[in-house]
Amino acid sequence: MIRILKILVLAIAATLALNSCEITEKSKVKTDSMYQNMSKVTPPTAKKIDHEMTIHGDTRNDPYFWMRLSDEQKNNETPDAQTQDVVDYLNAENSYTDSITDHLTGFKDKLFEEIKGRIKQTDMSVPYKDNGYYYSTRYEEGGEYPIYSRKKGSLDAQEEIMLDVNVMAKGFDFFNVGGRTISPDNVLLAYGEDTLSRRIYSLKFKNLETGEMLDDVIENTTGYCVWGNDNKTIFYVRKDAALRPYKIFRHILGTDPSTDVEIYHETDETYRTFVYKEKSKKYLIIGSSTTLANEYQILEADNPQGKFRMFSPRVRELEYGIDFYNGEWYVLTNKDGATNFKIMKTAEDQTNHSQWKEFIPHNEKVLLNSIEIFKDHYVLSRRVNGTTNLKVVKWDGSGEHEIDFGEDAYTARPSINPEFDTDIFRLSYTSMTTPRSTYDYNLNSKKLELLKQQEVIGDFDASNYESKRLMVKARDGVEVPVSLVYRKGLEFGPETPLLLYAYGSYGASMDPYFSSVRLSLLDRGFAYAIAHIRGGQEMGRQWYEDGKLLKKKNTFTDFVDCGQHLVDNNYTSSDKLFAMGGSAGGLLMGAIMNMRPQLWKGVVAAVPFVDVVSTMLDESIPLTTGEFDEWGNPKNEEYYHYIKSYSPYDNIEAKEYPATLVTTGYHDSQVQYWEPAKWVAKLRDKKTDKNPLLLLTNMKAGHGGKSGRFESLKETAFEYAFLLDLAGWDENELKN
């Protein structure tokens, strides 16, 4: 593995399909159903209890601070008065949302069935080979959850079902399996099990030859473990009270987990630790990572009882990731000011950063994302002019070429490539109009073989849709890319509904991608756009640097400028322009609502991070300590005032806001439920408009929403019923 960003990224989709494929004029028919319902129902009013917080000589009063609960309070079977007050308030908001959208009930159900109808019910991933077995994931008709299986030696061999999650999930409101790893002898399966949606997993073990579950159960883990080559020793990570992965333990199967040996303790609260095995499977690696630095320790997997040794110690602002091949280490790093990263290499026993030597130099115009290593070739995953790019090179330097996909705007990434000794490179490909596709690429013959393309049930024809890339000049002169997709024949104008989406944080790039559920929105005359704003990494590492810390406002102004450009150039109008984002993208939604509320007809903010100052001041909250290098530490006065100047919750004013739908999960471990709940309560108290303001809390889910491939689509159906209603979709159809 080499420097992989794991970002919770929100998948955005739109729902609803026409019986015909023609764009209709129905989207121009005005309906005020939600507004009519609002006249009949009184919204909830959250109680206020003054709570003053003073730092740097500045005092903030948070009258809704009381909504915060500890996990112990939330999970107490006999809730105290405060817990009950919070639950009562969230339920009241849910009831209010139900009442305001009552007329959408049938429509929402219809949307769900249409979305579900586009998905192939009986489906299977492309099998990949690892250590003599072919592994795949499949779904059966009506099944919410995956079935994980394998075949020995050949695709024609008898299927071995490892886990049927449909059976395992029975009786649970939420169920997720994570971190599946197989022992080197192919006998034992280790996996994580989360039944609460807090991303706290119990590690369990299954004998794949007998089907028996081992007695070993390890609680409070990240859900992932790594096997030593002795087939009985595993290494795993536990979380602290703030859900930070902070300790690594060694467990020997058959022993009491309470006696497990602590191998590593990450004492710096700004770092998170993890453990994995590199591709050659020779080394076990312990990693520690924060936004601006990395550190690794290594140990031969044949010696799991040994002591890990330092690869190269952490240095502030030195980022690096490591891979091993043929007696040498390959290091992807920003060493010596390589903003877009370069690759260095060093001998197996000379790992300190002072001993690294340049292998692939830094390029100011090309961002290096990763290197995939094979016996005779390596493949570089890069980003050039805002577009993903795959470059193939032989180890002797010959045969250098880029993989040609015949399109200008697309997303291509390495897929699962566990084997070294092969000339086949597996990759994933998609565009705004091309369903997700899995290819095998022959590194010698340069031939692409399509193995599987996402099947869209119905009358989908990619030629009926088209996309384009716009370059929008932001207020400081920087050009921001916008990817736009729509149905052919759409005539843009003030009556064209358009949904603009972005994320813009953590260096997560929102590349062009295909969405089958979005087709239904496009068929009804909507256009859909992704704004590739600063804070992501679409245009290189500097794009990220210019959208964080004391430059974070660039993220928000870029999005506003993209929206204004679409209005000014007659793609839509403020009465038909919608915005959507989730998590850190929900922070974006809150900021742009405060900055330019009149630019948007409606906003959907999913699990929004909106109480930035208070959260970043509270180190007991999950993620806080590890994110000071992303947002800044408000204990520093300069950062405090800067964060406060854009924090959505702290900047609510008595003014008109657009129609807004806010979603959250009671068990959310990433953005605690009280942030969106307090935000809605304060908005409801301050705003002067008569637009809908709805809060929907899933009382049984966390940051990712409901589990199961279909149940989660019900939430999507509701979000888009909300938007389609605001866009003026035909009232008669809404009542069908």
| Residue 701 pLDDT greater than 50, yes or no | yes
Residue 556 confidence class, pLDDT cut points 50, 70, 90: very high
Residues 213-252 as b/e (b if ≥16 CB within 10 A, e otherwise) read: eeebebeebbbbbbbbbbebbbbbbbbeebbbbbbbbbbb
How would you class 482 by CB atoms within 10 Å of its CB: exposed for 0-12, middle for 13-18, buried for 19 or more?
A: buried
Predicted confidence band at 13 (pLDDT cuts at 50, 70, 90)?
very low
Query: Which fold is adopted by the domain 26-117+458-734?
Result: Rossmann fold (3.40.50)
Give the helix/strand (H/E) hosting 730: none
**Residue 232: predicted pLDDT:** 97
Amino acid present at 272: R
- In the residue annotation, 667 being an active-site residue is answered as no
Q: How many CB atoms lie within 10 A of CB 355?
A: 13
Query: How far apart, in whole angstroms, are the C-alpha atoms of residue 13 and residue 115?
Result: 10
Sign of CA dihedral 702, 704, 708, 711: positive
pLDDT band at 66 (very low <50, low <70, confident <90, very high): very high
Dihedral of CA atoms 26, 28, 32, 33 in degrees, nearest 10, equals 20
Whether residue 296 contacts residue 312, with contact meaning beta carbons closer than 8 Å, is answered with yes
Output the pLDDT for position 707: 55
What's the pLDDT score for residue 80? 82
| Mean pLDDT along residues 346-368 | 97
Of 309, 311, 318, 312, nearest in space to 336 by CA? 318
Phi then psi for residue 358, to 5 deg, are -65, 135
Contacting residues for 166 by C-beta, under 8 A, at least 6 apart: 140, 143, 144, 145, 147
More confident residue, 682 or 119: 682
Question: Could you tell me which residues come within 8 angstroms of residue 501 by beta carbon, excluding any fewer than 6 positions away?
Answer: 12, 510, 528, 529, 530, 531, 579, 580, 581, 585
The mean pLDDT of 39-49, rounded to a whole number, is: 95
The stretch 363-376 carries a mean pLDDT of 95
Q: Which pLDDT does position 668 carry in this prediction?
A: 73
Cα torsion 259, 260, 261, 265 to 10°: value is: -120
Catalytic residue among 558, 650, 668, 725: 668
422-445: b (≥16 Cβ within 10 Å) or e: beebbbebbbbbbbbbbbbbebee
User: Tell me, what's the pLDDT at 706?
Assistant: 55
Task: Tell me the per-residue pLDDT of 407-422, one tens digit each, with 9 for 90 and over.
Answer: 777 899 999 999 999 9
Whether residue 703 lies in the annotated active site: yes
> Which pLDDT belongs to residue 74?
67
Predicted confidence (pLDDT) at residue 26 exceeds the cutoff of 60: no
The pLDDT value given to residue 401? 95
pLDDT of residue 702: 58
The answer to whether 189 and 163 have CB atoms below 8 angstroms apart is: yes
Q: What are phi and psi of 411, to 5 degrees?
A: -130, 120
Q: Is-catalytic flag, 583?
A: yes
Tell me what the mean pLDDT of segment 142-163 comes to: 94
Q: What is the domain class of 172-317 according to CATH? A: mainly beta
* For residue 670, pLDDT beyond 60: yes
Helix (H, G, I), strand (E, B) or coil at 650: helix
Answer whether 249's CB lies under 8 Å from 262's CB: yes
**Rounded Cα–Cα distance for residues 538 and 509 (Å):** 5
Is the predicted pLDDT of residue 17 greater than 60, yes or no? no
Query: What is the pLDDT at residue 242?
Result: 81
Q: Has residue 734 got a pLDDT over 60?
A: no
Average pLDDT for residues 9-37, to the nearest whole number? 44
From CA 566, how far away is CA 87, in angstroms rounded? 41
Q: Average pLDDT of 28-39?
A: 70
This prediction's pTM: 0.86
What pLDDT is recorded for position 447? 95
Task: Point out the least confidently predicted range of 51-55, 162-166, 313-317, 703-707.
Answer: 703-707
Amino acid at site 287: G
Query: Tens digit of pLDDT for each residue in 607-655?
Result: 999 999 999 999 888 778 888 989 999 999 999 999 999 999 999 999 9
Q: For position 620, what pLDDT does the model report?
A: 82
Region 561-574: what's the mean pLDDT? Answer: 98
Determine the pLDDT at residue 19.
32
The identity of residue 253, as a single letter, is L
CA distances from 429 to 389, 405, 423, 494 (A): 11, 9, 19, 34
For residue 667, what pLDDT band results from cuts at 50, 70 and 90? Answer: confident
Identified catalytic residue from 251, 362, 667, 703:
703
Query: What are the structure tokens assigned to 72, written together?
Result: 């112990």
Residue of higher predicted confidence among 495 and 81: 495
Residue whose entry in the numeric block shows the structure tokens 């813009």 = 504
Q: Which residue has the tokens 């100011």?
A: 364
Asked whether the predicted pLDDT for residue 28 surpasses 50, the reply is no
What pLDDT, on the 0 to 100 scale, is given for residue 3? 34
Separation in Å, CA 653 to CA 65, 329, 485, 650: 18, 55, 35, 9
- Choose, from 583, 614, 669, 707, the residue flagged as catalytic: 583
What are the structure tokens assigned to 694, written together?
């709805």
Residue 693 in this model has a pLDDT that exceeds 70: yes
**Per-residue pLDDT at 46 exceeds 70:** yes
Given a cut of 70, whether residue 210 has pLDDT beyond it is yes
Across the chain, what does the average pLDDT equal? 91
Q: Tokens 């003014």 sit at which residue?
A: 655
Model pLDDT, residue 386: 86
How far apart CA 557 and CA 595 sit, in angstroms, is 9
**Mutual orientation of helices 637-646 and 553-568 as an angle, nearest 10°?**
30
Per-residue pLDDT at 6? 33
Distance (Å, rounded) from C-alpha 567 to C-alpha 569?
A: 5
Of the candidates 101, 84, 47, the one whose C-alpha atom is nearest the C-alpha of residue 696 is 101
Domain boundaries, the chain: 26-117+458-734, 172-317, 322-364, 365-455
Given a cut of 50, whether residue 4 has pLDDT beyond it is no
Question: What pLDDT does 484 receive?
Answer: 96
Residue 25 pLDDT exceeds 60: no
Query: Hey, how many other C-beta atoms are within 10 angstroms of the C-beta on 72?
Result: 8
Least confident window among 66-70, 480-484, 506-510, 694-698: 66-70
Q: Which amino acid does the sequence have at 101? A: T
Share of the chain above pLDDT 70, in %: 93
- From the list 468, 473, 658, the residue with the least C-alpha distance to 561 is 473
Distance between CA atoms of residues 185 and 375, nearest Å: 23
Give per-residue pLDDT as tens, 218-236. 999 999 999 999 999 999 9
Query: Region 279-288: what's the mean pLDDT?
Result: 96
Confidence tier at 79 by pLDDT (50, 70, 90): confident
Q: What is the pLDDT of residue 115?
A: 86
Give ∠ CA 136-138-139 in degrees, rounded to 5.
Answer: 170
- pLDDT exceeds cutoff 60 at 725: yes
**What does the pLDDT read at residue 77?**
66
**Nearest alpha-carbon partner for 592 in 565, 555, 634, 567:** 555
